Amino acid sequence: MSHKSSSSKFYAYLSRLRWIKRWGLMRNAEPENVMEHSWEVAVIAHALALIRNEFFMGQVDANAIATAALFHDASEVLTGDLPTPIKYFSSSLTAAYRQIEAIACDELISLLPDPLQAAYQALLSDAQQPESHHQIIKAADTLSAYLKCLSELRAGNLEFSITARELEQKLNDSALPEVAYFMQTFVPACALPLDGILKGLSKEMDSGSDTLDTDSEQDVLYDEVVLFVITTRKATISSVQRQFKIGYNRAAVIIEAMAKKGIVSEADTNCTRFVLAPPPL
């Protein structure tokens, strides 16, 4: 049976997401478009879902989450990317933008052949997403924004320094254990230059096993952090950050080095560590 249909402009619109620039009010060393961002959010959301299922007894559909994440900003092909400071400047502006987003989604869906509209409605509409899926996609969106800030800071662009700190604090305060796991396991390496990534890979290939990066033990704050942790009995990255006024990545690397030395435990299923070394005399 043949199915004739009229031409649809749905994918023609979506393909133009590559021309929608993000971070419009800020100077960018490395410009980012909505299509790139959507791909990264989908990849991170998929990882968060798998982490929840594997380590925290979750039962979410990682593939469905990744697919929905690909479309989470699709409406911006009609609305453009409204900078966050404007979007959340006031409750009335936020409500108005949400309404515009909903209208834009409806307009996009209306471009599809009728038999496909229900399936895409479930992908484009937040209201039709399970709450667990929405939480993970939102967390992935924040993680993607944080990684963008780290990329800008590596390029010497201090325009993103305040935003990076705010997003880092938001992620540290997240109630989702998979976010803490991702921050501890994957984010530190994202701050490395290519040479640093390749150097670490070369070490692992040469040794055939995971090796401790001695740079973490050579950190000028390492001994002070050890003393702080064994005295306060707090083995959390956030407490080290607050005490020493350092970033998440640096604190995470030091804590991980302490775990390798047996000073603190490895993170358990709730990303909790325990101080194993005795308190100072």
Q: Consecutive 10-residue runs of the chain (281 residues): their mean pLDDT? A: 73 95 92 96 98 93 97 93 81 88 93 94 88 96 95 88 91 92 89 70 48 58 92 89 85 88 83 85 73
Burial 96-119 (b: 16+ CB within 10 A, else e): ebeeebeebbeebbebbeeeeeee
Residue closest to 148 by CA, chosen among 68, 227, 41: 41
Q: Could you give the domains of the chain?
A: 10-190 (1.10.3210.10), 205-281 (1.10.10.10)
The reported pLDDT for the residue numbered 209 is 41
Please say whether the beta carbons of 264 and 276 come within 8 A: yes
Give CA–CA dist 75/279, Å, rounded. Answer: 55
Q: What is the pTM of this model?
A: 0.72
- What pLDDT is recorded for position 45? 98
